[in-house]
């Protein structure tokens, strides 16, 4: 375990040039919106600060966060990030296994008490005493609580750790629970998405290691710099939305023209993420650019807010296919029929019973 080495020493040792290093610093500073002096700050921090130990744990998940992370776009990011955060434990990609791997957890807890960052991918299922996710012979939730107790901060990677994701979909048989419901005494940063964008993940890590604190978080605990705007706000198809030009069917001319996918259930207007600006796979594309609406994978409960291909969400208490319009129209219709019937009875009563605007007879 490298103790006194700085990021910069590690980077240089791995054969990365100073030029590439400064390039990375400016790109990272720009992506975090740090301004003109940001690059120098990032460079200075990486040159002088010792690497932050990171423990990366996997609960109930699909490893798509790790898959996204290792595809971080700028060529240097992969090298730098894997080096700069002294990644001491990650059971998916580490060489050690079994008792050897568990020993690292113990060692980190003792050696870096209160200093290491706990990154959590996936979440603990709490039902049946946590038996639905066994890690190293015991429930994952126990291991999670243990490692969180001595961490300085916790990163919740992806929709699983942040919100629960598909394993928490109704009726949530394993009682999969987002980690902020389990760890309540540590600062938690949520980096939702299924998976989160690689550059967002590395950006968050770089910020924490550079400034030694969590970035500014929003109401839901997400970093403001990546999650303060909707996909819709920066979507390149937005002009078609404002003009009133929509894809009406998947195979129509509007779809070929690349028009707005709002009517096809795009969740861009309710999804906070950086996809429409940062995009994916080295900025190649993102779902809407590929002709498919956003499914809102970085939003709480997106798995239960179906259908993906309709604008209005289903409202389950009123039947599997009901939405706000169907419920509303049914109620208005019923009231309309009721009013008509009531008016008819009123009219009949008025004709048959003598009224003459009389007050009730005085007793």
Partner 1 sequence: MNIMAQVGDISDSHGEKAVARRTVYVYQAPVRVWHWLNALCMVTLFVTGYLIASPPESVTGEAYDHFQMGYIRFAHFAAGQSMAALFLLRIYWAFVGNAHASQIFYVPVWRAAFWRGVLHEIRWYAFLEKYPKQYVGHNPLAHLMMFGVFTLGTLFMIVTGFALYSEGAGRESWQYKIFGWVFSLFPNSQDVHTLHHLGMWALVTFTFLHIYAAVREDIMSRQSMISSMISGERQFRDEEA
* 53-61, 111-119, 151-159, 309-317 -> range binding partner 1 (CB under 8 A): 309-317
Are the C-beta atoms of 304 and 170 separated by less than 8 Å?
A: yes
Are the C-beta atoms of 54 and 86 separated by less than 8 Å?
A: yes
Q: Closest CB to partner 1 among 239 and 283? A: 239
Q: Which of 67, 128, 146, 248 binds partner 1 (CB under 8 A)?
A: 248
Are the C-beta atoms of 53 and 112 separated by less than 8 Å?
A: yes
3-state secondary structure the chain: CCCCCEHHHHHHHCCCCHHHHHHHHHHHHHHCCCCCCHHHHHHHHHHHCECCCEEEEECECCCHHHHHHCCCCCHHHHHHHHHHCCEEEECCCCCCCHHHHHHHHHHHHHHCCCCCEEEEECECECHHHHCCCEECCEEHHHHHHHHHHCCCEEEEEHHHHHCCCHHHCCCCCCCECCHHHCCCCCCEEEECCCCCCHHHHHHHHHHHHHHCCCCCECCCCCEHHHHCCECHHHCCCHHHHHHCCECCCCCCHHHHCCCECHHHCCCHHHCECCHHHHCECCCCECHHHHCCCCCCCCCCCHHHCCCCCCCCCECHHHCCCCEHHHHHHHHHHHHHHHHHHHHHHHHHHHHHCCCCCCCCCCC
Per the structure block, which two tokens stand in for 191?
């980096």
Check binding of 300 to partner 1 (CB under 8 A). yes
Residue 100: which residues within 8 A CB-CB, separation 6 or more?
A: none
Check binding of 350 to partner 1 (CB under 8 A). yes
Per the structure block, which two tokens stand in for 2?
């490298």
x/- mask, partner 1, residues 135-164, rule CB under 8 A, reads ----------------------------x-
Check binding of 234 to partner 1 (CB under 8 A). no
Q: Which of 263, 277, 289, 308 binds partner 1 (CB under 8 A)?
A: 263
Check binding of 109 to partner 1 (CB under 8 A). no
Tell the smallest beta-carbon distance from residue 224 to partner 1 (Å). 7
Check binding of 335 to partner 1 (CB under 8 A). yes
Q: What end-to-end distance do the CA atoms of the chain give, in Å?
A: 99
Check binding of 180 to partner 1 (CB under 8 A). no
Tell the smallest beta-carbon distance from residue 357 to partner 1 (Å). 5
Q: Closest CB to partner 1 among 50 and 269? A: 269
* 81-89, 193-201, 202-210, 336-344 -> range binding partner 1 (CB under 8 A): 336-344
Q: Closest CB to partner 1 among 1 and 330? A: 330
Check binding of 169 to partner 1 (CB under 8 A). no
Q: Which of 56, 112, 116, 262 binds partner 1 (CB under 8 A)?
A: 262
Tell the smallest beta-carbon distance from residue 248 to partner 1 (Å). 6
Check binding of 245 to partner 1 (CB under 8 A). yes
Check binding of 246 to partner 1 (CB under 8 A). yes
Q: Closest CB to partner 1 among 187 and 269? A: 269
Check binding of 317 to partner 1 (CB under 8 A). no
Backbone angles phi, psi at 176, to 5 degrees: -60, 130
* 5-13, 29-37, 63-71, 346-354 -> range binding partner 1 (CB under 8 A): 346-354
Q: Closest CB to partner 1 among 67 and 248? A: 248
Q: Which of 324, 344, 351, 363 binds partner 1 (CB under 8 A)?
A: 324
| Interacting residues with partner 1 (CB under 8 A) | 163, 218-220, 224, 228-230, 233, 239-246, 248, 254, 259, 262-263, 267, 269-270, 296, 299-302, 305, 311-313, 315, 323-325, 327-329, 331-332, 335-336, 339, 342-343, 345-346, 349-350, 353, 356-360
């Amino acid at each position: 375990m490298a103790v006194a080495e700085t990021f910069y020493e590690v980077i240089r040792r791995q054969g990365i040039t100073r030029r590439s290093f400064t390039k990375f610093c400016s790109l990272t500073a720009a992506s975090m919106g740090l301004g003109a002096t940001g690059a120098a700050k990032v460079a200075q921090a990486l040159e002088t600060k010792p690497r932050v130990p990171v423990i990366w744990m996997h609960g109930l998940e699909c490893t798509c966060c790790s898959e996204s992370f290792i595809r971080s776009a700028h060529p240097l990011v992969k090298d730098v990030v894997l080096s700069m955060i002294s990644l001491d434990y990650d059971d998916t990609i580490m060489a050690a296994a079994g008792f050897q791997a568990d020993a690292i957890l113990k060692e980190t807890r003792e050696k870096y008490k209160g200093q290491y960052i706990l990154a959590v991918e996936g979440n603990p299922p709490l039902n049946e005493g946590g038996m639905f996710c066994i890690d190293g012979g015991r429930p994952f939730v126990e291991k999670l609580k243990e490692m969180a107790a001595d961490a300085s901060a916790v990163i919740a990677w992806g929709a699983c750790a942040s919100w629960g994701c598909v394993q928490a979909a109704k009726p949530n048989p394993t009682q999969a629970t987002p980690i902020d419901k389990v760890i309540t005494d540590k600062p938690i940063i949520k980096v939702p998405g299924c998976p989160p964008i690689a550059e967002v993940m590395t950006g968050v890590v770089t910020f924490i290691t550079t400034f030694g604190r969590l970035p500014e978080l929003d109401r839901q605990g997400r970093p403001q710099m990546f999650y303060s705007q909707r996909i819709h706000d920066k979507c390149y198809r937005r002009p078609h939305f404002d003009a009133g030009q929509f894809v009406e069917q998947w195979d129509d001319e509007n779809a070929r023209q690349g028009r707005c996918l709002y009517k096809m259930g795009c969740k861009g207007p309710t999804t906070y993420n950086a996809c429409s600006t940062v995009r994916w796979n080295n900025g190649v594309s993102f779902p809407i650019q590929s002709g498919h609406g956003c499914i809102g994978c970085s939003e709480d409960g997106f798995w239960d807010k179906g259908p993906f291909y309709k604008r209005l969400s289903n409202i389950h208490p009123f039947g599997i296919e009901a939405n706000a319009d169907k419920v509303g129209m049914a109620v208005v219709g019923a009231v309309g029929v009721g009013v008509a019937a009531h008016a008819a009875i009123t009219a009949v009563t008025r004709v048959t019973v003598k009224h003459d605007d009389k007050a009730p007879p005085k007793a």
